[in-house]
Amino acid sequence: MTQTYDTIIIGAGVMGASIAFHLAERGVKTVILERKATASGATAHSSGLVRMHYDLAAESELVFASYKKYFSNWKERVGGDCGFINTGFLKIATREHEDKLRGNVANQQRIGINTSIITADEVRKLFPDIATDQFDFAAYEPDSGYADATLTTNSFIEAAKHIGATLIQNCEVTAIHTSGGKVVSVSTTKDDLSSPIVVNAAGVWAKHVAKLADVDIPLETWTHDVAFLHRPPSLGKIPAVIDDTLNCYFRPEGSALILAAGEDESLRGEAPDAEDQTPTPTFLEKLIDALVQRIPKIEESGLHSIHVGRDGITPDQRAIYSAAGPDGFYLACGLSGTGFKTSPAAGASLVELILDGAPKTVDITPFRFSRFAEGKLLEGEYGYGNIWK
């Protein structure tokens, strides 16, 4: 017998989990289908930064709403734990981008974000172990930090299940059926399920899933290497940092480790189910060379481990939150390696679009699928260029 639901979500990463939670809160009978296990794709390898500095105001708005309404108040708003740790955040831009840094901070202050431009001297006073030779100014967010993507996902899913959602794992979608231009059901490796609404939150599999609904999205796989280094015993407090002068980012990982990664040399176009988990040959050497310039005490460190993660990336390296193709088919994909921190507000906004016809939490219209056909790729108001080189 075919099970009937109000909404089917494909993908139980952090974005699918957020959407399921917000649908269940509205009393919508929801099922989440996951080909493996919850948080087993890009979410499992997320670096988990919760920072609000973007060169696109719409993205800053999504993170600010996610921080203010969720991450800073998780237990009361969702339940469970998201693992948020307040470390502060620094955005270090190149000297030639100082005017853009100031423009983006001004935009973010208008949104209500607690951020400001500070000098290199002020950076050294806050974080004495950070070298400042290559920059004069940075953007500083004292409220930001990082969270645990797996804890966040599982909290959303457990809360959604508690109020009526269903999770089916080890269940791959094999077909999406339409009638009269509308979604009507899906077939899976377990059962057929009927629903008038299907949400594609399938991460690296999103392009494949979209094709099942005769929708072609401009998406390719993006593979990213992340290192965990032992924290030098003499190292003092450090914040989460994105450093454009060195093309890398880093943050504390608990009290014993540092998470760090580069922003260049990421691979493109690998198969979603590629088994190779080997980092690119020069990844670690280039990363350490960069980090030593910013944190000289890294020379006292050593490698703990490396992991390799994949996500779907779009031509403008911005997400898609939108209706697409047949009536009832929606996209929440193409997160381009930056979806974790926006997932609470993005999920809420997409649910408002689905149920109410328009988003209220944050205007996600800029992230519409049609922008690609319109030739209106998203660009920052004070653009730094693509994050991933």
Please tell me the distance from the alpha carbon of residue 314 to that of residue 217, in angstroms, as a whole number.
Answer: 8
Q: Which two tokens stand for residue 27?
A: 């009393």
What's residue 208's pLDDT? 98
From the list 26, 32, 383, 385, the residue with the least C-alpha distance to 199 is 32
Q: Which residues lie closer than 8 Å to 224 by C-beta, 6 or more apart? A: 45, 261, 266, 308, 309, 310, 311, 337, 388
What's residue 38's pLDDT? 97
- Tell me the per-residue pLDDT of 33-76, one tens digit each, with 9 for 90 and over: 999 999 999 999 999 999 999 999 999 999 999 999 999 999 99
Kindly indicate the confidence band of residue 1, based on its pLDDT and cuts at 50, 70 and 90: low
- What is 66-144+223-310's CATH topology? D-Amino Acid Oxidase; Chain A, domain 2 (3.30.9)
Q: Is 302 exposed, middle or buried (0-12, 13-18, 19+ CB in 10 A)?
A: exposed
- Tell me the per-residue pLDDT of 180-226, one tens digit each, with 9 for 90 and over: 999 999 999 999 999 999 999 999 999 999 999 999 999 999 999 99
What's residue 385's pLDDT? 93
Q: Where are the domains of the chain?
A: 3-45+150-219+316-374, 66-144+223-310
Instruction: Compute CA 340 distance to the chain's CA centroid, rounded to the nearest angstrom.
Output: 3
Per-residue pLDDT averaged across 314-330, rounded? 98
- What is 3-45+150-219+316-374's CATH topology? FAD/NAD(P)-binding domain (3.50.50)
What's residue 389's pLDDT? 78
